[in-house]
Structure 1
Amino acid sequence: MTARPDALGALLPQWHRLRDAEAGEPLRALLAVIGEQLDRVREGVEQDYEDWFVETAAPWVLPYLGDLVGYRPLPGYERVLATGLGAPGADSRARLAEALAPRADVAATVASRRRKGTPALLEELSDRVADWPARAVELSRLLGHTQPVRLYGTGSPAADARRLTRGRTADLRKSAELDLAGGPFGTLGRTVDVRRADSRHRQGGWTPAGVGLFVWRLRPYSLRTSPAYCVDRARNLYTFSILGNDSPLVTKPVPEPSATHQATVDNVPAYITRRQLADRPADYYGPGRSFVIRRDGEDLPVPPSDIVVADLSEWRYRARRGQVVVDPELGRIAFGSRTAPRQGVWVDYHYAFAADMGGGEYPRERATPPEAAVYRVGPGRPYQRIMDAYRDWQRDRRAGGTGPDGVIEITHSGAYQEQLDFDLDPGDRLEVRAAEGTRPVIRLLDWYSNRPDALNVRGVQGDCDPRELPRLVLDGLLVTGRGVNVTGPLASVVIRHCTLVPGWSLEPECAPHSPEEPSIVLDRTSACLQVEHSILGTIEVIGDEVATEPAAIQLSDSILDATGHHREALSAPDCRLAHAVLHVRRTTVIGEVHVHAVESAENSLFTGRLRVARRQRGCLDHCYVAPGSRTPRRHRCLPDPAGAIRPVFASERYGTPQYGRLADACPEPIRRGAADGAELGAFHDLFQPQREDSLRARLAQYTPAGADAGIFFVT
């Protein structure tokens, strides 16, 4: 109906309205229908005016506006969007039109063509099309060649100055320039280099007429007020990472001042080198910058005058009295005798990773039930320990003071060293989560000598309605030291945006401390395990194969890491078949899987053998399965019958920036093996192949005339 049903009726004389009311208001109903049509005509006329402008035009108009200004749709979007649009309809067509002609891209077409060939535009295209920070380099300006002396003085002074600055030789007194040599910010001259733009030998390279676009695919993630890890208390040695592993620091990018500005090392998430930090400490250290060090609970950071940059490899460098030595390339700290901390060290820093996965301070979607009781844990909060908040919720729940929903929210990115035992009654729904912008760490230590020290989740024994079985949610946490043990009757255990450190903890070089220990043990429980956007180690299932139904395990957008391709990522003890049914979506599994059945697996990657008992049940759709696997029916899965195609990872060790990512040298059928052309595994939703293709298409349109453009992946 119209928003103004009586608008026309109000224009009639009062005598007609009275007569109409006596007759049951048939005239009022007729005028309401006519008014609705008038409103639609009015809205159509107003929208016709709005469709003249790209900022307010309807989505279906965008391709037509783009055609007027010569806009070319990006390749491959038809197939990507069609797979997720569902049934055809007006909404589907509108979303498809918006995707084929993005509003911002169409609006910038004319301005971009005016700036064609400029390095700043190429960097802007990378950010706008692929969402990758970039640095464009005119390689011809770095080409070393013999300077023609006879040309000096024949042209303008500006031309002579350009000749003098082209292809300069190295000045050994300027360590900062030497540190940047060969990279995107290097200014030293070089001879012709026949390297190509990437490992797949595509267009571009270090040629005299080439333009190199250096892009950063890893994102910077922040950690604030995080405790540093003490490696050696006697010598005052620490690491930025709470796990004690080496973690290189990255720059917190600074926004560029204008659209014509060319990116510098401060505008991209680049790794901080020792020389750069030593030459420009004020640009990296301090509140609001790349990293900060605080000691003994002080609000003020360590003074910049006390910071000394040094190589702390193997901890050979000894800090002198009053010094705070920092190694940004390894993420290590060493204190001198006068500045030695007595009450702990806290750090703010940025690390690099590929996506929002595992425990982190990045924004997460979360909803709190309106009737849930929230118990906050952290400094300045009513509770300082997680178990204290849990006991109060349990007491209030049994006393009838609160409903079945309870939320324990940790408001601080600190380390909580306590034994966690959650005993849940029928009807309980408990959520233990990190507050927005925090990443708390739960360190499960060796508390008891006569029983396991895992994070125990137990359902209270007793017959009850299956709809009243308790539920537990872990959200945004990093668990180290031990794993999670689930027993008893439970409806579900949900682990989302969490990290259960594979191998329990890490060595300095990111090697797992206990590679064969499980991260989750399902011990004779009815719980459905749901893992979303998380990183975890081995899952071990202990169940009664005769008296109980198989447990349900659902993995999506996660990494299941057994720390080795030939170790068991999911199985029962002694490498037997786990009494469970597996559902996998967009997941990377490093290790072998021995399971009762696989109900569904799509766009996933299994590096070890997959052994299934019930082969007639379920299906694998667009997956990679290691040769020698025993699986249900497969639909467009890899590898080929010869087994020549194998995945290649940039890193398989948790704690490194490139962890879990497919290498650029990985075979194309795996990099583009998903149903929509994206890569297989946990980073499917980054759509990196599509972003790369889109960027190459735009570079071909806006590259300077007569020049070749190539993409160089820095990270």
Structure 2
Amino acid sequence: MTPDELYALLPTVLRRRDAEEGGPLRALLTVVAEQVAVLQEDIDRLYDNWFIETCDDWVVPYIGDLVGYEILPGIAAALSDDSSRGTGLPAAAVPRRDVADTVLNRRRKGTLPLLEDLAAAVAGWPARVVEHRRLLCVTQPVRRSAPETGAVRRGPARGGLVDVRSPAALDRLGGPFDEFARTVEVPRADSARRPGRYGIRSVGLHLWRLRPYSVTRAPAYCLDRDRACYTFNVLAIDTPLFTAPVPEPSSCHVADETNVPEPIGRRALAERLYDYYGPGKSLCVWTGDTVVSPRRIVAADLSGWRYRPGAGEVAVDPVLGRLMLPPGTAPADGVRVTYHHAFSGDLGGGEYPRPEPAPAGSVERYRVGPDGDDHHSIADALDHWQAAKRGHPHKAEAIVEITSNDVWADPGTIRLDPGDRLTLRAADGVRPVVRLRGRPGDDRPPALTITGPEDGQPSGATARVVLDGLLVTGGGVRVRGGVDRLVVRHCTFVPGWELRDQGRPVAPGAPSLDIAGSPVRAEIRHSVVGAVAVAGREGREPHRIEVYDSVLDANLREATAVGSPDGGTADVVLTARRTTVIGSVRARVVDVLENCLLDGEVRIDRCDQGSVRFCWLPPGSVTPPRFHCEPDHSGDPERVVPRFADTRYGSPDYVRLADTCAPEIRRGGDNGSEPGALHHLFQPQREDNLRTRLAEYTPAGCDAGLYFAT
């Protein structure tokens, strides 16, 4: 309702009197109209909140209560805090799909496919249910092998020995698709001390926590052109290839290897090539613009590059993420590949959706791509922008957007004028790679240099730059001059600059982000960045570094993750929330460190300012006052130490906490989730909710156990 509509509701005598007095009543109704609009919007929203499909996340627990949906007490306490709504906890802890299907699931109680549906609805994890009773060794009844016809009828092979001539079956040994018979295990499947998997009453739910991420028609990296050796990963590292899951045909179907993000084995690729290979499937290979026929694909072991493909063959090793052509047949146009790798969550850039912030007003957009776009290089697009804004101040804001999964050359130094606003981003659905190379005659290490206005410019005439969705390798990012604000969103600055064999960094501890010059406010979100070096000057305002949901990886605990270029204390005001730091932190001041894993020495000069909350940091660290931090809170520094599944960048388990990590850390966040860059996944809440639902829907007399395949 507008102010005029409210004003028209008043009697004419009051409106006439108000006009004589100069309109104070009209001014008052203008303020009232704003609150009326808020109230009207809330009333309209109340209708949507009546239905589970359209209600807000915070309403889901209340609708669930109406149908008897019970949530865990710890989650209920966390949801009572309004601050938890902004973290996504309601959607993760109380899934609306599970609430909507509560009545239907109660009717399906006792069926195996229901357990898989529960895992998808409650935890968001693909699953396969296995009835372990059917895998137990039994003595075959004689009558089942001697029918009246006299012909030999084979009974179920549940007591036979392992067939060592079946390598494909041996590859599945111990996994969710294991078909070999086992002897009974006495412990219960849900035992806390020593769970037993194979029993008469045992049902296992195998879960995949890692998510598959696609890389579409990207160039493969050529290691040896003469021998035609390639890696799928453009960073020249071994990357295991994963299945792109296909939907199950019905709700009564039990998942197989094509329905879950399972690593692809060599035997599986050889036996079921057409399930995995081809456009739109788990992997595909192009030589030039031609798709390699499945008849030419050969699954092979390419470790050591000892295999020799035959004429016309293309050898693929899905375990290592390698491919090989016959020697001397490397195509001039290169090899392109589509594949899927695995990771824990949306972090560091990729083809996953990245909501683009709405630009203010009209913004010049320069598209960079191989064909059909305005420009064929980043440097060319930047040159056109520099030329267009001369004499046209309204063109000082621009977006340079890369539209393909190619490897792009070093754009050189990006020079910004006073008032410039530049966004260098990847288009939604692509992951471009910017490879930095040293310049002839330049002794400095390779870097993407961003230079702002020189000192002495008018006040407020500073520049701002946004890097969004890029993977930078071969060097770091260097910021100089009057860059008022630097935003890094969903990017990866490869820790250690570049990777060698087995993912070892070329320059461990080298800064991936080097800041010097006038004060800069750097904001890092959902990114993987190496060490951050900040050089301040006496008498100047300190830099501000803000890190959210990201990884700062100096490659070694002894290296400096945040500090000055010489490894000393950086003149910065540091803010970090939900961040994993590998390496030491040396800063002048902190605003707040919250829900962080600080795997390295932490030394803050000024301890009278700021706070540290719900973090893990090494004993002996010098910080402002700490609240509920480990191992101080538990008092057990020997046991409560972080254990990562892997700290090597490029691994599927990168910076994921191991299952053997102390529960004080795995549940040490402010809302019961783990601290660090994967805090937003709420893995403990998902697991707890799933265990509760399994206990509710598993028939009496059965023991249901959880087994994490990845």
Q: Report the TM-score when normalising by structure 2.
A: 0.88
Give the aligned residue type for 1:372.
V
1:374 equivalent to 2:365? Answer yes
Q: 1:360 aligns with which of 350, 356, 360?
A: 350
Give me the whole-angstrom Cα distance separating, in 2, the residues matched to 1:551 and 1:76: 39
Q: Distance in 1 between matches of 2:273 and 2:291?
A: 14
TM superposition score normalised by structure 1: 0.87
Paired residue for 1:528? 521
Q: Specify whether residues 98 and 336 from structure 1 end up closer, same or farther in structure 2 by C-alpha distance, changes over 3 A only.
A: closer
Partner of 2:26: none
> Partners of 2:439 and 2:82 in 1: how far apart?
49
- Aligned: 1:446 with 2:431: no
- Flag the 1:195–1:461 CA change in 2: closer, same or farther, 3 A: farther
Q: Deviations over 1:8-61 (max 9, x none)?
A: x9xxxxxxxxxx999999xxxxxxxxxxx9xx9xx999999996x766789999
Between 203-212 and 697-706, report the one with greater CA deviation. 203-212
Whole-Å separation in 2 of the counterparts to 1:143 and 1:630: 57
CA contact (8 A) 1:605 1:625 kept: yes
Of 102-111 and 278-287, the range deviating more from structure 2: 102-111
CA distance in 1, matches of 2:532, 2:628: 27
**1:78 counterpart (60, 76, 79):** 76
Cα shift readout 1:194-233 (whole Å, capped 9, x = no counterpart):
6886997476633321111100000000011111111111
- 2:601 corresponds to which letter in structure 1? R
Greater shift after overlay, 326-335 or 502-511? 502-511
Counterpart mapping for 1:263-282 below 5 A = 263-282=255-274
Match of 2:582 in 1: 590
- The CA distance in 1 between the partners of 2:306 and 2:190, in whole Å, is 37
Unaligned runs of 5+ in 2: 17-35
The structure 1 residue matched to 2:421, chosen from 412, 416, 429, is: 429
Which runs of structure 2 are paired with 1:434-583 in the superposition (5 Å)? Answer: 434-452=426-444, 453-544=446-537, 546-583=538-575
The answer to whether the Cα contact below 8 Å between 2:284 and 2:337 also exists between their aligned partners in 1 is: yes
**What amino acid does structure 2 have at the position aligned with 1:677?**
G
- Offset at residue 402 of structure 1 (A): 4.3
The residue type paired with residue 657 of structure 2 is L
Q: Secondary structure at the match of 2:270?
A: helix
Does the Cα contact within 8 Å between 2:48 and 2:54 map onto a contact in 1?
no
> Match for residue 15 of structure 1?
none
SS in 2 for 1:330: coil
AA of the residue aligned to 1:658: D
CA RMSD of aligned residues (A): 3.4
Match of 1:647 among 623, 642, 647: 642
Contact 2:406 2:432 survives alignment (8 Å):
yes
1:630 to 619, 622, 635: 622
Give per-residue Cα distances to partners, 1:227-266, cap 9 Å, x unaligned.
Answer: 1111111111000000000000000000111111111110
C-alpha deviation, 1:514, in angstroms = 1.3
Aligned pairs (5 A) from 1:317-336: 317-336=307-326
CA distance in 1, matches of 2:578, 2:586: 19
Separation in 2, partners of 1:621, 1:60: 25
Q: Given residue 213 of structure 1, which amino acid in structure 2 is its aligned partner?
A: L
Structure 2 CA distance for aligned equivalents of residues 576 and 45 of structure 1: 57
Give yes or no for contact 2:422–2:464 (8 Å, CA) kept in 1.
yes
Instruction: State whether residues 81 and 99 of structure 1, in contact with CA within 8 Å, keep that contact through their aligned partners in structure 2.
Output: no
Output the CA distance in 2 between the equivalents of 1:701 and 1:639.
35
One-letter code of the match for 1:178? L
Identify the match of residue 120 of structure 1 among 96, 104, 113. 113
In the TM superposition, 1:87-486 aligns within 5 A as: 103-149=96-142, 164-166=156-158, 169-193=161-185, 201=193, 205-296=197-288, 298=289, 300-337=290-327, 339-367=329-357, 368-379=359-370, 380-400=372-392, 402-452=394-444, 453-486=446-479
**Distance between the aligned counterparts of 1:608 and 1:326, measured in 2?**
40
Name the amino acid aligned to 1:578.
Answer: A
Structure 1: stretches of 5+ with no match in the other structure: 10-19, 26-36, 87-91
Instruction: Judge conservation of contact 2:226–2:330 (CA < 8 Å) in 1.
Output: no
CA drift of 1:65 comes to 6.3
Instruction: Evaluate the alpha carbon distance shift between residue 202 and residue 366 of structure 1 in structure 2; reply closer, same or farther with a 3 A threshold.
Output: farther
Aligned residues: 675
After superposition, what is the alpha-carbon deviation per residue over 1:624-660, rounded to whole angstroms, capped at 9, x for unaligned? 1112211111111111355222100000000000001
For 1:618 and 1:46, how far apart are their aligned partners in 2?
39
Please state how far the C-alpha of 1:182 moved relative to its aligned partner: 1.9
Offset of 1:290 from its aligned partner?
0.3
- Give yes or no for contact 2:462–2:482 (8 Å, CA) kept in 1: yes
The answer to which of 455-464 and 133-142 deviates more is 455-464
Aligned pair in 2 of structure 1 residues 263, 383: CA closer, same or farther (>3 Å)?
same
Q: 2 CA distance for matches of 1:657 and 1:577?
A: 33
SS of structure 1 residue aligned to 2:511: coil
Distance 1:712 1:59, change over 3 A: closer
Q: 1:365 to 1:96 in 2, by over 3 A?
A: closer
Q: 1:185 to 1:360 in 2, by over 3 A?
A: same
Q: CA deviation at 1:98?
A: 8.9
The secondary structure found in structure 2 opposite 1:583 is: strand
Q: Distance in 2 between matches of 1:119 and 1:605?
A: 39
1:493–1:56: structure 2 CA closer, same or farther, 3 Å change rule? Answer: closer
User: How far did 1:668 drift?
Assistant: 0.5
Question: Alpha carbons of 1:152 and 1:634: their partners in 2 closer, same or farther (altered >3 Å)?
Answer: same
Give the secondary-structure state (helix, strand or coil) at the position aligned to 1:231.
strand
Alpha-carbon contact 1:205-1:709 (below 8 Å) kept: no
Work out whether residues 647 and 662 of structure 1, in 8 Å CA contact, stay in contact via their aligned partners in 2: yes
Q: C-alpha deviations, 1:528-568, integer Å up to 9, x for none? A: 11111000111112221x22122111111000001011111
The one-letter code of the counterpart of 2:525 is E
For the structure 1 residues 54 and 322, does the alpha-carbon distance in structure 2 shift closer, same or farther, using more than 3 Å as the test? Answer: closer
1:16 alignment partner in structure 2: none
Q: Which amino acid aligns with 2:74?
A: G
CA contact under 8 A between 2:482 and 2:519: conserved in structure 1? yes
Over the matched positions of the two proteins, sequence identity in percent amounts to 47
Q: Distance in 1 between matches of 2:495 and 2:56?
A: 49
Letter in 2 for 1:307: I
Give the conservation status (yes or no) of the 8 Å contact 1:371–1:403: no
Code of the aligned partner of 1:555: V
Give CA deviations for 1:285-321 in whole Å, capped at 9, x if unaligned: 100100111112x1x3111111111111111112222
Contact 1:377 1:409 in 2 (8 A): yes
Letter in 2 for 1:683: L
Distance 1:73 1:305, change over 3 A: same
* 1:605-624 map, 5 Å: 605-624=597-616
In structure 2, distance between residues paired with 1:678 and 1:443: 36
Render the CA deviation track for 1:586-630: whole Å, top value 9, x for unaligned.
000001111111121000011110011111111101111112211
Quick one: distance in 2 between partners of 1:24 and 1:130?
Answer: 60
- In structure 1, what is the Cα distance between the partners aligned to 2:163 and 2:263? 23
Q: What is the identity, as a one-letter code, of the residue corresponding to 1:670?
A: I
Q: CA deviation at 1:64?
A: 7.3
Which runs of structure 2 are paired with 1:30-45 in the superposition (5 Å)?
none
Question: What is the distance in 2 between the residues matched to 1:434 and 1:171?
Answer: 51
Equivalent residue for 2:28?
none
User: In the alignment, residue 572 of structure 1 is paired with which amino acid?
Assistant: S
1:667 paired residue number: 662
Would you say the 8 A contact 1:374–1:406 is kept in 2?
yes
Q: Which amino acid aligns with 1:374?
A: R
Deviations, residues 359-389 of structure 1 (Å, cap 9, x unaligned): 2111011123332100000022110010110
Compared CA separation, residues 668 and 319, structure 1 to 2 (3 A): same
